[in-house]
Structure formats: C-alpha cells, structure tokens
C-alpha cells in the first residue's frame, strides 16, 4: 500500500491514463473519484467510474461555513472523511475529476496540506479515461476505514487573516486567477489577475499547458519562486489548481487562500478594489508597461484603482446603468446555479427570494422560493427573514436586478445576501426543476380577500385550503355548520359520508338541509347547499354507511376527517381507520346542553379515541340525541369549532386541540379544557398495536348489525 508510485511516463504530481491502465490490476495507491454528480444526465460515480476508484463528495470536505463555499471543514471532520475512505497519510493517492477540472486539484491541495506524502492528479480525468474505451465500473468500491491522523502544513494555506496581514508585504505576490470580468468587478488590493481559463488550461485539450510555457508565463509577470505566492479565485477551487501547477513547476512557497473572493468580499472590514475601468495587469512581457505603477511587492499594479467602500458610497455624480450594476456586483457575492442547486439539495437553511414581477413568477419559479417583487424587497424582507445572519439568495430573470437587490440587502445588514448569476433563465435552461405555482384567479382574490389579508393565511394559505381535502362523517347536526364554513372558506374538496335521508326532525339543527329537502339523501341536499355557497369547491357525496369494508378506501382520498357521527361503532371505526391511514380526526360530540371537541392525531404525538376509551359502554347505557334530546344551537357551536380546528390544521397555524379536550357547557356558558394523554398500551396507536385491520364494530360494541340502506 505504501510502495511509492513509480511513474516514468508522467512528471511529478501528474499521472496519465496509460500509466493508470497498466497499474489498475496491481494498485499500490488509492484512486479517488471526486466528480460532481449530475443525476439528470446520469453523469457521476454511480453511473460509471474507473474500476477500483473510491467516491468522495467534495462537499464533505469543503463546507460552506456561514454560506461561504470553499472553506475547509474542521480538522477532525476531514480526518473522519479521509479515514472513512481508508486513507492513511502515507497512502499514495491518485485523484481524478471530470476532465482537468479543479476539483481534483483541490483535493490534492488539501491532502498535501494535511501531510499526505504522495498525491497525483490524473491528467485529462474521466474524459481522457472514457476516450480510451477503458474499463468502467458501476460497482461502488469500499475500503476498511483507517485512522487518518493528519499533520496540517500551514504553509499550504492562506487564511483571510493571513492575507490581510500580508497585503503590503514586498515578498508576497497575490494572484487572482478568476476571469478578467470577475476581477474587474472586484478584487483584493494589489492582486494580479492571471486567469485560470486560457492561462493554465491548454485549450482545447483539457490539460495543463506545457511546463516550459507555463514557467515562462509565470516568470514573465514576475511570479518567481523567490516570492511567497498566494493564489485565490472565487471559492478556492481554480486557485487550488493553480497551486498545483505552481508546485508542479517547482515553486515551493505557494499558498491557496481557501476562502477566496467568496469570503473576502463579504467581510466589510477587508478592503477591496473594484471598478470596471480597472485595467487588467499585463500577462506578457517582463515588468510593468509604461505608465503602470509598481506595487509594494515590486510587481506591476493595476492603474489607479478606486476603493469602493462596502457601504456603497461611490463619489461620482453621474453613473450609467452599467456602472451601477458593475458597482453592485463588486460589492456583493454571486452564486452560480450549480452551487445553488447543491446547497439546496444539501438542505442548507438558506432563504431563496424571487424578486421578479408577478407575471414572471406565475409561469414558474425555483422550488422553495419566496416571492417578493423587487419594489417591495426592502419593505418586506424583514418580515420574511428577521435574522440578519441567515444566508439569502436573491434571483431575478437574468441576474441584474438581483445584483441590485442583493446590494440593497447587504446595506440593510444582510451580509450573507447573494445574487444568482444568470437568474431563473439559467436555472431553467440547465434543466433544473422548477415549480409552477397555483395562483388565485381574480374572482378568488375577491372572494377570499378577507382571508388573504390575514398574515396567518395570505395567498399561500388560501391556496393550501383550496388544495386541501376534508372528509365529513355525517351531514347532520355537527357536519352541517362545519361543512358550511369549510365550503365558504374554500376547502377544495369536501367529502360527505352519509347514508341517511333528510327527516323533518333533523331541521331544527341540521342547517345544510331545507324543508323542501325532506326525503332527499342528505349527501345530495348538502351538495346543493354547499355548491350554492361556493361553486369553487368540489363536493363529493358518499351516499353510504361507513363500514369496515369501505372506510379505508373512502378515507384514503382525504387529508383530514371531521367526525360528526352519533354512534359508538362508527366512532371506533373512524378512529381505527384514521390511525391506520395516519389521517388526523377533528372529533366533536354533543349531548343535551354539553359539547366536546378534540383532535386525534397520533402521528403528531397525540392520543386517539381508543387511548381514552379502550372499551365501548355497555349497549343502551348512553342515550342518543334521538332519545335524550339536544339543544339545536349546540351542534352549531361545536361543529363550527370543528371547522375552526380543521382550518388551523390545514394552514399549520395556531395551537391545535391535540391532546386537549374542550368541554362546552351551554347552560353555564363555560369552556373547560382537559389534558388527554396517550396510552402506550393502546391497541391501535400504542407501542405494540394489536389492531392492524378494521374489525366488526357492531359486534365490538355489542350491538346488532345495521339494516343495509
């Protein structure tokens, strides 16, 4: 395992595919695949890799601390990750990425920083391997975990603190290897721009330029081994690659500033230079050109640069649109779509704000985004994000408005606000998922306007109601007021199970039905009333008794059940079916002058009906309303409370009556509340439930079977 890699065909720090092919069968090294995965295109380790390669997701090693990509994870976390791969510090390592990308170089840099003796990068990476028609494996490789004890070499690393302390140092050369465009938007004072693309990469073939050429190139701009060289880019990846190239050329004193521009630019105490007119430093010819000033490190400096304060006060009288945008970009951090997607996929708690106009938002937006049009951004952002330290990404259609928006947020103290480069256009073109939002029609905006005015409901809450599905058990005394309010509130689908027909004696309390409905099925009468109140919603009548054979199927079409039944077999049946289906039940019951309401939702940690009443009362002991009577207005109050609880559950607002029983005494006009506890031995929701299927509930309650309607 520790045998050094003998590699006559490639020079130090690189191996080529020929060498790798001949060494695959007798590996004396660890081969590590650090390619990014693109599941949509089936690109990445699981879809094919070099046989024997281990897989490493670089995001495990380069965490985003405070939203800054490219920072190393902690020493111990890195040791855990590398140890899990089976690496020892003395294990020779060969690493590859997609082509000659910087990810492999970044890992190489990290490993050398951690004292790994022998690290090589595969020239041309996966692309070169595939071109040769070499063997490909889809079998994941695992090694026994090893104890990785690293001895970091601080001389490989430059922190923001180190860079800030060496800004004026005559022996330190600061190299910005981002593109010219990125550099002119903003860079570290005194930094020389040597773009990684075009300078290091030898296009079109994705490999390093020939060594002699590279050596001349660096020497030509005064980057000599006599200097201490600090490289940085946007997030530390391209700079790691430059670091590798310089080491490859024999430069010993090279540091990678891992936090790079992403970190530097968002720390207001650190000075930056940024203005579109700043000239790029020459990349050919020895020394500075005529008229160039010489910096403290003896290198040609950019022409007089204007320091832009991070609060955005640039003293100029007139500025063009382009200048305003460029200045904004110089003062904010930008993120590209792949980084954003990776961070969202990682579940990072970042707030995504779409600042386009409503007409742009409605055809589609990034999933999870909040909608605040640019004109309202400063006015509404504090309601959405009270915490100034939360990472925020703003986006628009193309990345211009969001640059200005991110600047405004920074000025409000949101130091972690970033702008999405390319905006929603780039996101959509890349084939990344987007959501087409449900929006209210003009009529709906008016109908539900008193709802949407409430911040606890809003348009999003109203849409939730319209998309919700509630099943009412019974269209009687409790079901009537509940259904009326749920329909009026815009609950999108209301199911009603009732096998009964309207009777004259129902009408003193069952407000869904009218005198002319006597003799009609209650489901039909209810549907007519509800549709006339709100034609927006769908009413589904289940003209049947709820039984053990149909309950699970009926309930499966709903998110929530509102129970208004009047007998014990149905009460146990509804309870068991809903516990088995994981559907919450808003339960109500009435007797003479007393009503009770509670929510049974074992999925949320609350009790179920059986937790409280494991056994039914003896038959005939509890009289029904038909026998004992009920005040007509009582179910109106209890049913309306049930509708209230249902709406709260759908909106996710307030404190639901889970684990609480509300007892209403109509004569005394008092509400009492009793705490309800779960029973761990409950036969249906307990730790070891005995009931896994619906049973015969009439037999369970000691009652005769009902006559089939």
Residues that bind Zn ion (CB under 5 A): 608, 610-611, 682, 685
Strand-pairing partners, residue 586, are: 562, 599
CB of 689 to Zn ion, least distance (A): 8
CB of 602 to Zn ion, least distance (A): 6
Helices and strands counted in the chain (H then E): 27, 27
Q: What is the DSSP letter of 277?
A: T
CB of 553 to Zn ion, least distance (A): 22
Whether residue 204 has a cis bond before it, omega within 30° of 0 = yes
Q: How buried is 585 (Cβ within 10 angstroms: 0-12 exposed, 13-18 middle, 19+ buried)?
A: buried
Of 655 and 687, nearer to Zn ion (C-beta) is 687
Of 381 and 608, nearer to Zn ion (C-beta) is 608
CB of 548 to Zn ion, least distance (A): 18
Of 54 and 685, nearer to Zn ion (C-beta) is 685
CB of 605 to Zn ion, least distance (A): 11
Distance CA 419, CA 403 (A): 5
b vs e for 265-300, b when ≥16 Cβ sit within 10 Å of the residue's Cβ? bbeeebebbbbeebbbbbbeeeebeeebeebebebb
CB of 648 to Zn ion, least distance (A): 22
CB of 607 to Zn ion, least distance (A): 5
Of 133 and 693, nearer to Zn ion (C-beta) is 693
Of 404 and 684, nearer to Zn ion (C-beta) is 684
Structure tokens at 222: 């005064």
CB of 679 to Zn ion, least distance (A): 6
Of 192 and 676, nearer to Zn ion (C-beta) is 676
Distance CA 518, CA 501 (A): 7
Structure tokens at 74: 């902690």
Distance CA 399, CA 636 (A): 55
CB of 495 to Zn ion, least distance (A): 24
CB of 678 to Zn ion, least distance (A): 6
Angle at 589 between CA 583 and CA 590, to 5 degrees: 165
CB of 610 to Zn ion, least distance (A): 5
Of 189 and 686, nearer to Zn ion (C-beta) is 686
CB of 683 to Zn ion, least distance (A): 8
Expressed in angstroms, the distance from the first to the final Cα of the chain is 80
Of 489 and 608, nearer to Zn ion (C-beta) is 608
Of the candidates 29, 154, 141, 47, the one whose C-alpha atom is nearest the C-alpha of residue 92 is 29
Of 129 and 609, nearer to Zn ion (C-beta) is 609
520: Cα separation from own chain's centroid: 51
Strand-pairing partners, residue 598, are: 587
Residue 324 near residue 404, CB atoms below 8 Å: yes
Of 340 and 685, nearer to Zn ion (C-beta) is 685
**CB-hemisphere CA count at 13 Å for 640?**
8
Of 429 and 604, nearer to Zn ion (C-beta) is 604
Distance CA 217, CA 211 (A): 10
Of 258 and 601, nearer to Zn ion (C-beta) is 601
Strand-pairing partners, residue 43, are: 38
Neighbours of 665 (CB within 10 A): 12
Q: What is the DSSP letter of 375?
A: G
- Residue 641 φ then ψ, to 5°: -65, -40
Q: Which residues are within 8 A (CB) of 665 and not within 5 positions of it... i.e. 6 or more apart?
A: 593, 594, 671, 672
Of the candidates 557, 544, 551, the one whose C-alpha atom is nearest the C-alpha of residue 571 is 551
Q: Is the Cα dihedral 550, 556, 557, 560 positive or negative?
A: positive
């Amino acid at each position: 395992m520790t045998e050094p890699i003998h590699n006559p065909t490639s020079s130090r720090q690189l191996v080529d595919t020929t060498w790798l092919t001949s060494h695959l069968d007798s590996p004396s090294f660890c081969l590590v695949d650090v390619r990014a995965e693109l599941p949509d295109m089936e690109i990445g380790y699981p879809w094919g890799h070099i046989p024997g390669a281990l897989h490493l997701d670089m995001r495990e090693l380069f965490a985003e601390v405070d939203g800054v990509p490219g920072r190393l994870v902690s020493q111990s976390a890195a040791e855990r990750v590398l140890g899990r791969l089976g690496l020892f510090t003395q294990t020779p390592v060969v690493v590859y990425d997609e082509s000659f990308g910087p990810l492999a170089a970044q890992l190489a840099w990290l490993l050398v920083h951690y004292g790994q003796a022998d690290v090589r990068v595969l020239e041309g990476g996966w692309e070169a391997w595939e071109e040769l028609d070499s063997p490909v494996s889809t079998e994941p490789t695992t090694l026994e975990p090893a104890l990785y004890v690293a001895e970091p070499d601080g001389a490989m690393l430059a922190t923001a603190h180190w860079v800030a302390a060496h800004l004026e140092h005559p022996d330190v050369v600061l190299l910005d290897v981002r593109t010219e465009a990125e550099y002119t938007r903003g860079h570290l004072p005194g930094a020389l721009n040597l773009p990684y693309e075009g300078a290091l990469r030898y296009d079109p073939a994705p490999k390093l330029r020939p060594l002699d050429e590279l050596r001349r190139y660096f020497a030509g701009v005064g980057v000599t081994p006599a200097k201490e060289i600090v490289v940085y880019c946007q997030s530390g990846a391209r700079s790691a690659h430059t670091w590798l190239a310089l080491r490859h050329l024999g430069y010993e004193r090279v540091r990678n500033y891992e936090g790079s521009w992403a970190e530097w630019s968002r720390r207001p105490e650190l000075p930056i230079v940024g203005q579109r007119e700043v000239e790029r430093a020459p990349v050919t010819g020895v020394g500075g050109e005529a008229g160039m000033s010489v910096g403290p490190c003896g290198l040609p400096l950019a022409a007089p640069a204007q320091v832009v304060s991070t609060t955005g006060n640039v003293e100029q009288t007139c500025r063009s649109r382009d200048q305003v945008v460029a200045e904004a970009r110089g003062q904010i951090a930008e993120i590209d779509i792949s980084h954003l997607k990776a961070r969202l996929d990682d579940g990072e708690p970042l707030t995504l704000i779409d600042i386009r106009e409503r007409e742009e938002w409605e055809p589609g937006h990034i999933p999870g985004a909040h909608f605040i049009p640019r004109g309202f951004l400063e006015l509404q952002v504090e309601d959405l994000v009270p915490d100034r330290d939360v990472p925020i990404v703003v986006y628009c259609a193309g990345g211009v408005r969001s640059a200005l928006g991110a600047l405004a947020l920074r000025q409000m103290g949101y130091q972690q606000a970033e702008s999405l480069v390319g905006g929603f256009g780039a996101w959509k073109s890349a084939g990344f998922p987007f959501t087409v939002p449900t929006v209210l029609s003009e009529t709906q905006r008016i109908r539900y306007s008193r709802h949407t005015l409430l911040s606890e409901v809003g348009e999003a809450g109203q849409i939730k109601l319209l998309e919700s599905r509630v099943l009412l058990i019974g269209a009687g005394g409790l079901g009537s007021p509940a259904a009326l309010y749920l329909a009026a509130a815009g609950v999108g689908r209301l199911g009603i199970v009732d096998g009964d027909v309207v009777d004259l004696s129902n009408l003193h309390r069952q407000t869904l039905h009218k005198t002319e409905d006597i003799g009609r099925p209650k489901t039909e009468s209810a549907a007519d009333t509800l549709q006339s109140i709100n034609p927006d919603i769908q009413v589904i009548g289940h003209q049947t008794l709820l039984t053990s054979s149909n309950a699970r199927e009926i309930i499966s079409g709903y998110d929530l059940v509102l129970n208004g039944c009047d007998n014990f077999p149905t009460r146990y049946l509804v309870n068991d079916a809903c516990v088995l289906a994981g559907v919450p039940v808003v339960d109500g019951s009435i007797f003479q002058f007393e009503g009770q309401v509670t929510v049974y939702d074992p999925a949320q940690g609350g009790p179920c009906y059986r937790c409280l009443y494991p056994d039914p009362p003896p038959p005939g002991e509890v009289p029904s309303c038909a026998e004992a009577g009920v005040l007509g207005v009582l179910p109106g109050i209890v049913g309306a409370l049930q509708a209230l609880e249902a709406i709260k559950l759908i909106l996710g607002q307030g404190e639901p009556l889970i684990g609480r029983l509300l007892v209403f005494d109509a004569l005394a006009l008092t509400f009492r509340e009793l705490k309800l506890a779960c029973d761990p031995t409950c036969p249906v929701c307990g730790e070891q439930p005995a009931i896994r299927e619906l049973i015969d509930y009439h037999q369970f309650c000691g009652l005769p079977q009902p006559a089939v309607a």
